[in-house]
Amino acid sequence: MFSPKLDESHFLHSYRPMPLILTVLALALLASASPAADWSPLFDGSSLKGWTQRGGKATYQVRDSAIVGTAVPNTSNSFLCTERDYGDFVLELEFRIDPTLNAGIQFRSESLADYKKGQVHGYQMEIDPSRRGWSGGVYDEGRRGWIYPLTLRPDARYAFKQNEWNHYRIEAIGDSIRTWVNGVPAADLVDPMTQKGFIALQVHGVGKRSDGPETSWRNIQIKDLGQSTWKPLFNGKDLTGWTPTPGGTWNVSDGVLKGTSPASETKHGILLSDADHEHFTARIVYRSRSGNSGFYFRAQPVEEAVGLKGFQAEIDSTGQDAGGLYETLGRSWVVKPAADLVKKAYKPGDWNEMTVSAHGPRLVVHLNGTKTADLLDATGARKGRFGLQLHGGQDMDVEFKSIELLETAAPRPIPEFPATPTGPIVPEGAAFRKLGDGYKFTEGPAQGPDGRIWFNDIPNNRTHVYDPKTGQISVWREDTGGANGLLWVPGGDLFACEGTNRIVSRQSGDKRTVAIEKFEGKRLNSPNDLVLDGQGGFYFTDPRYGNAGGARELEKESVYYVNQGSKITLATSEVTKPNGVALSPDQKTLYVADTAEKQIFAWDVKSPGILEHRRLFAPSSSDGMAVDLAGNLYLTTGPGLSVWSPAGEKIAEIPCPESPANCEFGGPGNKTLFVTARTGFYAIDLNIPGLR
């Protein structure tokens, strides 16, 4: 068995922009998971005392010790709001929602007369029962829209339980906002925009619907942790607390700190803080009239002309790269923000607000409320000085209206850089164990919402389900229409590629319907395999095998994309016979096995369903495939499985008792690889978690 050690480069680079790193490995937190404070009820179980309604006209009433919100037609989003504001807190509650509705939990929210005529706006923990599965993500209602979707958090997307009571937890301390769904970590957001506001229960507008779908909330309780406040580092009068280095001039006039320097000055003038700072969130309001400046942090004074060594958040009069992260006397540019993002956020010649959050290895920068950098850094300094820069060799004119630090009443969570897994992909002594046999040809393993594994025996037209808790396998469905690939989606529906029936079916509870049957009026060939993306859509392959279900109608064998609204579009026909399909952890690469060409091809995902830059990924045949959290691709080929790094290098081979057809991760920590192989169903434990 060839199974190399898990080299660090297969997991994490020394730095990587967020939120991908949160998908690869969860952050460990130094702070307590439950800050010390007493729980207080927000709902007394019998009345709406302490609450007031804003926005639309949905009805709220108390029924069976729960607040029940009922949607009504022709009204906007409705909000049942607490009468008082909360700053830092831990909130827990339970809710149950109609599967066709959308709702949310507002927090640190406001309704101001001078903002959109009193429209409720602020953070919202999403309740999303659709197959997109973004329950637990954070939406900025009435302002910026999605600021923490769950595109790259598959475990959280599957945590929501349809038609059941679900448990939510929100922890907001300073600029740290974290959420949990039924105990599963979901959002880990850093955002300092709003530090206090009311809590509200949202019922989303439903257009003209008149059937009155409901959302219920109960057991609503809060730990009030006080209020975070901004404290000035610049007193608006003089340079107390700051020391200038040679180069340029600093002075204070009318409460504004002004720095100037002629182009003839070669030294980088630095206004250096007298104190070191380690974990902090800083807010700087600046106006740059000419030249290149920056806000240094965790920096160390040096003798070189640049004056400091360390990170700086970019300040530039033209706005170019504003809010990016540059490491002076180090790695140079570490995060360069997208030009269109900066163009939208930056205000030329005007006052701009930049926030810099540095807690442990996580560095986050916002420019006028737009996130321009989010980095988990393994090598940078963790402590050092602040510095305001006047770039040498340029005509410099930059002003600072305020420089502040955010002080929290409760300890703010501080992340640690996650440990890199070590050892071989397959642990020493690990071997396949047979879970079931006596089948004709097994295929399509898929992990269900409860951790059970579904798989098909295609010739026998049966879908089986394996229960890891009992070790038992049972028949789940007969007469499957030649079902092959299976896909459980958030919300609890099962999609199946029924090759003989030439459809993709959808099972919702006891009801089975045809999800996809035709493309541009022509029947599909024989759908084979499918993979869910982070937007609630899925890709499926449609080769032609045998004479499935009558005459062929489509000229080509292709890969299709079905969005959350069930609209089908052609993703690519640049394949001969597409079979297995998979997505990389960052959702940026789609892999397709072409069994006719005996090769694996890869495409860049430009946007959902839009592919570009087809290329050969691996010169290997495969049927099904799976991906681990490091982005390694597991191919079912020949006598066993082969493992390929994201760079297209074969890094391991795993012999299998029978020739494998497909594989799926599951089990404790998602570290068990389940394999369908001819007449058997097998499993082997690995050292690395797989993608859900």
Asked if the structure places residue 10 within a domain, the reply is no
Number of domains the chain is built from? 3
631 and 535 in a common domain: yes
Three-state secondary structure along 652-685? EEEECCCCCCEEEEECHHHCEEEEEECCEEEEEE
- Span 246-293, pLDDT tens digits: 999 999 999 999 999 999 999 999 999 999 999 999 999 999 999 999
671 and 542 in a common domain: yes
- Span 574-604, pLDDT tens digits: 999 999 999 999 999 999 999 999 999 999 9
- Span 202-237, pLDDT tens digits: 999 999 999 999 999 999 999 999 999 999 999 999
258 and 147 in a common domain: no
Give per-residue burial for 193-207: e unless 16+ CB within 10 Å, then b: bbbbbbbbbbbbbbe
Average pLDDT over residues 428-448: 97
Asked if the structure places residue 181 within a domain, the reply is yes
The amino acid sitting at 371 is K
pLDDT surpassing 60 at residue 94 = yes
Asked if the structure places residue 523 within a domain, the reply is yes
- Worst-scoring range by mean pLDDT, 44-48, 403-407, 409-413, 443-447? 409-413
565 and 659 in a common domain: yes
Give 64's pLDDT tier (boundaries 50, 70, 90): very high
Asked if the structure places residue 223 within a domain, the reply is yes
Q: What is the Cα–Cα distance from 513 to 504, expressed in whole angstroms? A: 9
Report the DSSP beta bridge partners of residue 643.
634, 652
**Token output for 290:** 């000419």
Average pLDDT over residues 653-680: 97
**Residue 36: per-residue pLDDT:** 74
Q: What is the Cα–Cα distance from 625 to 629, expressed in whole angstroms? A: 14
pLDDT surpassing 80 at residue 446 = yes
Task: Note whether 484 and 527 are within 8 A (CB).
Answer: yes
Average pLDDT over residues 618-637: 96
Asked if the structure places residue 303 within a domain, the reply is yes
Average pLDDT over residues 519-529: 97
**Token output for 130:** 């659709």
267 and 143 in a common domain: no
Q: What is the CATH number of the domain that holds 639?
A: 2.120.10.30
Among residues 172, 198, 228, the one where a domain terminates is: 228
Q: What is the Cα–Cα distance from 665 to 512, expressed in whole angstroms? A: 26
Q: What is the mean pLDDT of the chain?
A: 93
Asked if the structure places residue 606 within a domain, the reply is yes
Residue 286 structural domain:
230-407
Asked if the structure places residue 426 within a domain, the reply is no
476 and 353 in a common domain: no
Question: Which residue do the tokens 């937890």 mark?
Answer: 169
376 and 450 in a common domain: no
Of all residues in the chain, what percent carry a pLDDT higher than 70?
Answer: 95
553 and 472 in a common domain: yes
Among residues 175, 203, 228, the one where a domain terminates is: 228
Q: What is the Cα–Cα distance from 202 to 217, expressed in whole angstroms? A: 11
pLDDT surpassing 90 at residue 28 = no
pLDDT surpassing 70 at residue 14 = no
Q: pTM of the entire structure?
A: 0.93
pLDDT surpassing 50 at residue 11 = no
pLDDT surpassing 50 at residue 185 = yes
582 and 532 in a common domain: yes
Asked if the structure places residue 273 within a domain, the reply is yes
Q: What is the CATH number of the domain that holds 327?
A: 2.60.120.560
Average pLDDT over residues 513-521: 98
Q: What is the Cα–Cα distance from 150 to 662, expressed in whole angstroms? A: 27
Average pLDDT over residues 433-445: 98
Task: Note whether 477 and 465 are within 8 A (CB).
Answer: no
| Number of neighbours of residue 587 by Cβ within 10 angstroms | 16
pLDDT surpassing 60 at residue 646 = yes
Preceding amide of 19 cis, omega within 30: yes
For the stretch 368-371, contacts whose Cβ atoms lie closer than 8 Å and that sit 24 or more positions apart, written own/partner, are: 369/143, 369/144, 369/193, 369/345, 370/144, 370/323, 370/341, 370/344, 370/345, 371/147, 371/191
371 and 259 in a common domain: yes
333 and 199 in a common domain: no
Average pLDDT over residues 366-389: 96
Q: What is the Cα–Cα distance from 141 to 104, expressed in whole angstroms? A: 10
246 and 182 in a common domain: no
Q: What is the Cα–Cα distance from 689 to 668, expressed in whole angstroms? A: 9
**Residue 76: per-residue pLDDT:** 96
Among residues 213, 228, 243, the one where a domain terminates is: 228
Burial of 255 (C-beta count, 10 Å sphere; 0-12/13-18/19+): exposed
- Worst-scoring range by mean pLDDT, 1-15, 128-142, 185-199? 1-15
- Span 116-140, pLDDT tens digits: 999 999 999 999 999 999 999 999 9
**Residue 191: per-residue pLDDT:** 98
pLDDT surpassing 60 at residue 12 = no
Give 550's pLDDT tier (boundaries 50, 70, 90): confident
